[in-house]
Amino acid sequence: MEQTELERFLSWEKRVGALQYALRVINMDEIFGAPSSGARMRSESEAVLAGELFTLENEPAMQSIMQELLAQEPEPALRRRLELHRRQAERFARVPKQAYLAFRTALAESRGAWLQAKRDNDWPGYAPYLERLTARYLDLYPDDGSGVSAYDRMLDEHASGWNTGRYDAFFSAVRARLVPLLQRVAAAPQIDDAFLRRPYEEPRQRSYMRSIVRYLGFTPDWGKYGESEHPVTSGIFTGDVRFTTKYHDRSAADAVLSTVHECGHAWYFHNVDPAFDGTILAYAMEAAMQESQSRLCENHLGRSRAFWAANYPELQRTFPEQLSGISLDRFVRGLNVSRPTPIRTEADELTYPLHIMIRYELEKELFSGRLPVRALRDRWMEEYSRTLGVVPEDDAHGVLQDMHWPYAYFGYFPTYALGSAFAAQFFCAMRRALDVDALLAEGRYPEIMAWLGRNVHRYGALLTPDEVMLRATGEPFSAAYYLDYLANKYTALYGLSGGGKEGAQ
């Protein structure tokens, strides 16, 4: 019996999903620490699968079928799936398969080279790989006659409707509001947090992390966690989510906050409507939405007194010599200190968006041709000195610190700041509906995730970020919530005058 157009689409969608599943598993296997001697065969297998996926996603007959199905006014979930698939196909419509395969090869080489270069503190050894990768990535954005730059198209893929114009305005507001506040904080009497930077043995941190993961409600029946050079999360299916964290032997809290951050991503994938599994709606959430959930968990929950009221006693028992005599209030104050650091993942909330702003400006220059890749390190040093007043001790803690560029996540960095701004608005709405502090202190973290599940997560990629924001909070996105939140928090923490508007807590 001949298949209907809908049946052919659903069969095609299953094949696309299966190939994407295989590629995600290969990627997470590498991140979790697959044997290095198997790298060549993994890369070759990944390239073959990626090539098959490229061919399948750009199958001309399927594009016609999807267009015909859209003309039949399908129900909303199917319409959204068709629209997202067509958008992806249109991105590559003018890209020869050979150019895509060349990019995948450059990507595989870049990932391995970066891991080694970071270990060896070897920027000159890695720079040629990034040079090739950015060139091959630009090949995926040929002139489409729209007049929209390649970089604007990259930005739009991670946050639809956001381009350099909107981000320039956003970061201008961030700079205008936060740089003076950072200067006032730096001039205020400083908070003692030396106890956080004593030696904290990694084996004991790993033992303690098991209790944190249980508190977060991340259970083996739907998740797996491990360690990697750079923390990352991958949603394989709603019932199979994996993340990694990283331990620092001279920090009491960095690994905890990293774990809370990545578990925020994990809950997002897990709480998507299971009916979307195997479809693009289960994993194609925009990056700014993804980061809003991880940053909400890390900062609004993980840095709060209520969170640590439940978790600090066990930390103190695990590290009695480091934390003896350190009260809960003193610990939480120390945890929220603002102090510029060259490391983005170790940054406090106040300086974090400035790290993102630096990367955004450098990306703009890279993809406009104004900044050669080999000059990137020097510009990095200049911007850190000018904006944050710090200089990385070496390239491993500087230009090589992040995985995003080696993994071709170009245009992604700005979503961390935008996601942080989304998070502040979501959190304000959540606090109107829940006694968040009581739930955290009583160890009822999954109930908070359930609210996010009902109001944010369950939609997956069914709705746009603007639509989710409107449904969850009752109003359009406003960066004022984020900037007011930071102003309120740090003026109170450091005993400064002023702050933000009432209500943007």
3-state secondary structure 216-278: CCCCCCCEEEEECCCCCEEEEECCEEEEEECCCCCCCCHHHHHHHHHHHHHHHHHHCCHHHCC
Average pLDDT over residues 246-255: 87
Q: Is 57 a catalytic residue?
A: no
DSSP code, position 371: S
Q: Which of helix, strand or coil describes residue 285?
A: coil
Residue range 286-293: mean pLDDT, rounded:
94
Q: Assess contact for 323 and 252: CB atoms under 8 A.
A: yes
CB of 136 closer than 8 Å to CB of 102: yes
What's the CA gap between 163 and 165, in Å, rounded?
A: 5
Distance CA 358, CA 379 (A): 10
Band the pLDDT of 39: cuts 50, 70, 90: confident
Q: Is residue 476 scored above 50 in pLDDT?
A: yes
Confidence at 2, pLDDT banded by 50, 70, 90: low
pLDDT of residue 31: 77
Q: What is the pLDDT of residue 503?
A: 39
Mean pLDDT confidence for 463-487 = 96
> What's the average model confidence in pLDDT over 421-438?
98
pLDDT tens-digit series, residues 138-158: 999 998 888 999 999 999 989
Higher per-residue pLDDT: 102 or 1: 102
Residue 505 has pLDDT above 70, yes or no: no
Question: 218 pLDDT exceeds 60?
Answer: yes
For residues 146 and 32, which has the higher predicted lDDT (pLDDT)?
Answer: 146
Report the distance separating Cα 455 and Cα 85, nearest Å.
Answer: 25
Computed over every residue of the chain, the mean pLDDT equals 93
At which residue do the structure tokens 């506040």 appear?
181
In this prediction, residue 356 has a pLDDT band, given cuts at 50, 70 and 90, of: very high
- Where residue 89 falls among pLDDT bands split at 50, 70, 90? confident
Is residue 56 within 8 Å of residue 19, measured between CB atoms?
yes
- pLDDT bracket for residue 1 (50, 70, 90): very low
Cα torsion 237, 406, 408, 452 to 10°: value is: 40
Structure tokens at 347: 């940054």
| % of the chain with per-residue pLDDT over 70 | 98
**Confidence class for position 249, pLDDT limits 50, 70, 90:** confident
Q: How far apart are CA 28 and CA 244, in angstroms?
A: 9
| pLDDT category of residue 87 using cuts at 50, 70 and 90 | confident
Q: 379-419, pLDDT tens digit by residue?
A: 999 999 999 999 999 999 999 999 999 999 999 999 999 99
Angle formed by the axes of helices 414-433 and 352-368, to 10°? 140
Q: Over range 365-382, report the average pLDDT.
A: 96
Domain residue ranges of the chain, discontinuous segments joined by +: 164-493
Which residues have CB under 8 Å from 240's CB, separation 6+? 222, 223, 224
How confident is the model at residue 504, as a pLDDT? Answer: 38
Q: What integer pLDDT is reported at residue 262 of this predicted model?
A: 95
Q: What is the pLDDT of residue 499?
A: 64
Q: Which of 262, 291, 298, 346 is catalytic?
A: 262
Q: Is 498 exposed, middle or buried (0-12, 13-18, 19+ CB in 10 A)?
A: exposed
Type of residue numbered 241: V
pLDDT at residue 69 tops 60: yes
**Average pLDDT rounded to a whole number, residues 328-347:** 94
Report whether 127 contacts 139 (CB < 8 A).
Answer: no
Residues 6+ apart with CB under 8 A from 200: 248, 249, 250, 251, 252, 319, 322
Which overall architecture, per CATH, does domain 164-493 show?
Orthogonal Bundle (1.10)
Longest CA span, the chain: 78
- Tell me the mean pLDDT in the region 85-108: 88
The Cβ of residue 247 has, within 10 Å, a number of other Cβ atoms equal to: 18
Q: Report how far residue 367's alpha carbon sits from residue 345's, in angstroms, rounded to the nearest whole number.
A: 24
pLDDT of residue 151: 97
What is the rounded CA–CA span in Å between residue 503 and residue 505?
5
More confident residue, 97 or 36: 97
Average pLDDT over residues 58-75: 93
Condensed to tens digits (0 to 9), the pLDDT of residues 163-174 reads 999 999 999 999
Comparing C-alpha atoms, which of 48, 46, 54 is closest to residue 93?
Answer: 54
